[in-house]
Amino acid sequence: MKRKIGPKDSTAEFEKGLKEAEKEEFILRLYVTGMTARSKQAIQSIKKICEDHLKGRYDLEVIDIYRQPVLAKGDQIIATPTLIKKLPVPIRKFIGDMTDIDKIILGLDLRPKK
């Protein structure tokens, strides 16, 4: 016997999904080249996004490709700065300007704080 799902059930399932998504841990890698002004700005922007939207549920690894070129090769980094969202899936890459916070928040599937 099939059970019909009504609007109430759909709303409850949606709200449950939202609560579970808010508990997901994000694993992020930010690739930079040395401690240039652009690298520092990228680190600052991504840390701010993480603290504002993912507080307590993210792991951010900053990788200097001059010091760890093997990691850059493994993740196929062709330009810096590059941010990679490893988890939750799907994997996403952001290349270039990390100051466009709205674009990164949208790409990470984060809802803006209200």
Q: Can you read off the two tokens belonging to residue 105?
A: 């928040």
pLDDT digits (tens, 9 = 90+) for 91-102: 999 999 999 999
In a domain, 79, yes or no: yes
Find the mean pLDDT for residues 57-85: 96
Q: What is the CATH number of the domain that holds 29?
A: 3.40.30.10
Find the mean pLDDT for residues 27-53: 97
Helix (H, G, I), strand (E, B) or coil at 34: coil
In a domain, 33, yes or no: yes
In a domain, 96, yes or no: yes
Decide if pLDDT at 14 tops 90: no
In a domain, 15, yes or no: no
Find the mean pLDDT for residues 18-31: 81
In a domain, 5, yes or no: no
- Provide the CB-side half-sphere exposure for 51 (13 A, CA): 6
In a domain, 88, yes or no: yes
Q: How many CB atoms lie within 10 A of CB 55?
A: 8
pLDDT the model gives residue 23: 75
Report strand pairing: 58-64 vs 26-32: parallel
In a domain, 31, yes or no: yes
Decide if pLDDT at 6 tops 60: no
* Cβ neighbours of residue 49 closer than 8 Å, sequence gap 6 or more: 101, 104, 105, 108, 110
pLDDT the model gives residue 63: 97
Higher pLDDT, 8 or 34: 34
pLDDT the model gives residue 9: 65
What's the pTM?
A: 0.78
Give the total number of structural domains in the chain.
Answer: 1
Q: 64 — phi, psi (to 5°)?
A: -90, 115
Q: Can you read off the two tokens belonging to residue 1?
A: 């016997």
CA 33/CA 63 separation, integer angstroms: 8
Range of the domain at 83: 25-107
pLDDT digits (tens, 9 = 90+) for 53-69: 999 999 999 999 999 99
